[in-house]
Amino acid sequence: MRLFEAVLDANQRKIAGDKNASVPAAEFGLALPVAALTCIDARLNHLLPEMLGIPEEQFIWLRNAGNIITGPLSSTMRSLALACALKGAKEIAIIGHSDCLVGKATAMKLLDGLATLGVDRNRLPANLVEYFGLFATERQNVMRGVDLVRTSPLIGPKVPVHGLLIDIQSGRLEWIVNGYQGLDSVASKSGQVFRTAESALDAFGQIGSLAAGELQFPQTKIGELTKAAQDWLHKAEQGAGAIEEKIGQPPAIKPAEPPRLPKVPVRGRPK
């Protein structure tokens, strides 16, 4: 059993009435602490981290309005990265909640609220939805947040990233995104790709520079956004497939043309 499997088990037991249900910290010490991003909603104060069954000292709690991540290099992502690099967080959880007021907000409602505070619309960004990270459903927001964390260059590829929803009334958890599954599938897929590429590279001499030009390895400069891991793997697969295709189908040899014989002039018959 892994950490968040134990978290869901403890949560179900707690919902069923076991007030002492918790995750045995000694057993899962290698997976702790956890860095969690949640909303600032005050109703969560008495639910977390108790409903996860994780000891408070092992719960690195990050909060913003709507548990929103606006980009792979945003300030929230920076905080998650520091939680892992400096605070030692081993796993990340993006935790949304039911009845989220941010999720119910529209651009017009937001503008009206800001106007009552004396905020001039002309001084706000043009795209309010993108800037404030407004979302349609809590589930959609959690899934988007997980995707951004997974593809962020600030987060190591070995860190499981989970997505959960907590019921604001009962405290029941729903595991929307299993971070272990994503981690295992990417690792397995990347291993297959590199094994295929390795076997293909052994025969590079047969195809020369033509195939070499088709296999483009990523070249990322420091500070630039890296592409999503899934996109890179897809390109690597295409490159490996191109190599195998070239190896399996050597260029056809054009048959040599028969030598041309010199034309002999035809002499007329004597009259």
The pLDDT of residue 157 is above 70: yes
Residue 202 has pLDDT above 90, yes or no: no
Q: Could you tell me if 164 and 92 lie in one domain?
A: yes
pLDDT surpassing 90 at residue 2: yes
Is the pLDDT assigned to residue 37 strictly greater than 80?
yes
In a domain, 255, yes or no: no
Domain co-membership, 140 together with 233: no
**81 and 145 belong to one structural domain:** yes
Per the structure, how many domains does the chain have? 2
Decide if 231 is inside a domain. yes
Q: Please indicate, yes or no, whether residues 93 and 165 belong to a single structural domain of this protein.
A: yes
Do residues 198 and 222 both lie within one domain? yes
* 243 closest CA partner among 205, 269, 271, 270: 205
Residue 50 lies in a domain: yes
Which pLDDT belongs to residue 104? 87
Are 190 and 173 within one domain?
no
- Whether 107 and 217 map to the same domain: the answer is no
Q: Are residues 12 and 71 in the same domain?
A: yes
The verdict on residue 266 lying in a domain is no
Asked whether residue 269 is domain-assigned, the answer is no
Domain contains 151: yes
Q: What is the pLDDT of residues 123-135, one digit of tens each?
A: 999 888 888 888 8
Full domain range(s) for residue 220: 184-248
Same domain (yes/no): 97, 117: yes
Is residue 123 a contact partner of residue 96, using CB atoms and an 8 Å limit?
no
Would you state the pLDDT for residue 94?
Answer: 98
At 228, the amino acid letter reads: A
pLDDT at residue 39 tops 90 = yes
pLDDT of residue 264: 54
254 within a domain of the structure (yes/no): no
Q: In this model, does residue 252 exceed pLDDT 50?
A: yes
199 and 244 together in one domain: yes
DSSP track, the chain: --HHHHHHHHHHHHHTT-TT----TTTTGGG--EEEEEE--GGGTTTTTGGGT--GGGEEEEEETTS----TTSHHHHHHHHHHHTT---EEEEEEESS-HHHH--HHHHHHHHHHTT--GGGS-S-HHHHHT--S-HHHHHHHHHHHHHT-TTS-TTS-EEEEEE-TTT--EEEEE-HHHHHHHHHHHHHHHHHHHHHHHTTGGGTHHHHHTT-------TTSPPPPHHHHHHHHHHHHHHHHHHHHSPPPPPPPPPPPPPPPPPPPPP-
CATH code of the domain containing 121: 3.40.1050.10
Query: Which domain-ending residue is among 177, 197, 212?
Result: 177
Planar angle of CA 39, 137, 102, nearest 5 degrees: 40
Residue 257 lies in a domain: no
